[in-house]
Structure 1
Amino acid sequence: MVKDHGGVFQLGPLTLDVTEGVTCLVGPNGAGKSTFFRLAAGLEKPSSGTLELHSDPRTGRAAALGFLPQDPELPQGATCEEFLHYVAWVHRVPARHRKEAVATALGLTRLTDRATHKIRTLSGGMIRRLGIAQALIHDPALLLLDEPTVGLDPRQRIALRETITSIAAHRVVIISTHLVEDVRNLADRVIILDTGEVVFDGDIPTLEGKADPDAPGDTDLERAIATLMGAQE
């Protein structure tokens, strides 16, 4: 797959097969992370090549996709359950199943006790969890989370990472992040992009083995990411 932005920037060629678990997509600004997410979410089409969603192994039917953009716009005057009922309708969840789908999404994101609260009363961490709930409402096999922990305080990030881990057991979850702590605490697999190319694809122990001892950072993981993100300079 290739996405060419008029000769100014090109993502790819990429050949990736992403499987169940959490894959963290890492890279500097301008590396192509946002382009990858827009392509994966179906908001843009590749210049060449294809993206294909395999059938959902849980059902054998065509896989559904859930997407949390970096800055979701949520209706502040609605309650959590009102908003999720609307999103369920948008995703054509059958009317007889919507109440259960909303309850399940709230439970998975630990927001059951906030079901009747107005969205404007939620903390930043709760709003992120509600964003994940709306992405989960139709039980997708693929979940795309664009910078889900950005702007959160340490306790909120920990709570959100616990939520992501709990929902990733039987789903493909792809997270865009620039936070090393997210990578360390979430990733089963790490893909590092630099100037539109994949410069690393593997697990954390393998990634740590790439660290240049002279690269900036306090840990092997930080040094390895810094090393690889500078590989194309």
Structure 2
Amino acid sequence: MSEHRLSCEELVKDHGGSFQLGPLSCALSEGVTCLVGPNGAGKSTFFRLAAGIEKPTAGSIVLESAKDHRLGYLPQEPDLPRSATCEEFLHYVAWVHKIPPKQRPEAVADALVRVNLTERHRSKIRTLSGGMLRRLGIAQSLIHDPALLLLDEPTVGLDPRQRIALRETISSVSDGRIVLVSTHLVEDIRSLADRVIVLNAGQVIFDGDVPELEDKATTDAPGDTDLERAIATLMGDTE
């Protein structure tokens, strides 16, 4: 049975009448859930609510976990200190998360191993490639071993090899935690998703696994695969 659960009960976020997310009722368990939808569908709003950056207008979103309700968050454009080394930055993040001083070196080393950046531990952040920057972002979000990991479009702007490497990293850290990945990329969904939630206009229009999503495809929808056609079908070809 899953030790961690993110529960939404009649969750609503109203942005002054210009946009409303919800009401949504769902529960996320361990594994990778991909959150998909066109721009303006409510993905970023849901992420900010899950991270506690914003408060719901109504309803609730609650992380049920034995890990002191800890979460890790990688925004789409993380602001990393470019003059620091990877190791220096992660030591700072460990301090922010109140990891005891004697445990910090091990926590930093483990985070670097998890994202395959051990050999770059003394490199200045400004020297890292785009893919390495995203992997370092995942390392900082993992250093305190969170129950919930939020990754907002982590592969955007990366070249194909970097995307593959990052997807492998995400898969490798998903055991025993809830991982929510916002993405526009069909390859991310196919490679990562145990579950897919499709949002449109603030509402959940699909919640299931990849084969169930592919079953939604219509033959006249645009796309080269059933998965692409299914997403286009559900969203009314809005992307």
- Does 2:36 correspond to 1:26? yes
* 1:68-124 residue CA offsets vs partner (Å, 9 max, x unmatched): 000001111100000000011011111111111101100000001110110011000
Q: Is the 8 A contact 1:53 1:62 kept in 2?
A: no
Structure 2 distance, partners of 1:94, 1:197, is: 42
Of the three residues 89, 92, 115, the one matched with 1:109 is 115
Of the three residues 108, 128, 132, the one matched with 1:126 is 132
- Structure 1: 4+ residue segments shifted above 2 A: none
Provide the residue aligned with 2:142 in structure 1: 136
Q: Which amino acid aligns with 1:88?
A: A
How many positions carry a matched residue from both structures? 228
The alignment's TM-score, normalised by the length of structure 1, stands at: 0.96
Of the three residues 162, 170, 175, the one matched with 1:164 is 170
Structure 1 distance, partners of 2:201, 2:209, is: 21
- Does 2:75 correspond to 1:65? no
Structure 2 distance, partners of 1:64, 1:109, is: 20
Provide the residue aligned with 2:158 in structure 1: 152
Cα displacement (A) at 1:231:
8.4
- In proportion to residue count, which structure has more strand? 2
The alignment's TM-score, normalised by the length of structure 2, stands at: 0.94
Provide the residue aligned with 1:37 in structure 2: 47
Structure 1 distance, partners of 2:157, 2:151, is: 14
Structure 2 distance, partners of 1:140, 1:63, is: 8
Q: Which amino acid aligns with 2:91?
A: H
Provide the residue aligned with 2:218 in structure 1: 212
Structure 2 distance, partners of 1:228, 1:96, is: 51
Cα displacement (A) at 1:62:
2.1
Unaligned runs of 5+ in 2: 1-10
Of the three residues 22, 36, 50, the one matched with 1:12 is 22
Structure 1 distance, partners of 2:148, 2:56, is: 19
Q: Is the 8 A contact 1:80 1:114 kept in 2?
A: yes
Provide the residue aligned with 2:3 in structure 1: none
Q: Which amino acid aligns with 1:48?
A: A
- SS of match in other structure, 1:157: helix
Structure 2 distance, partners of 1:202, 1:8, is: 29
Structure 2 distance, partners of 1:197, 1:76, is: 38
Structure 1 distance, partners of 2:23, 2:232, is: 23
Provide the residue aligned with 2:5 in structure 1: none
Cα displacement (A) at 1:63:
2.6
- SS of match in other structure, 1:105: helix
Provide the residue aligned with 1:49 in structure 2: 59
The equivalences for 1:219-230 within 5 A come to: 219-230=225-236
Cα displacement (A) at 1:225:
0.4
Identity of aligned pairs, percent? 72
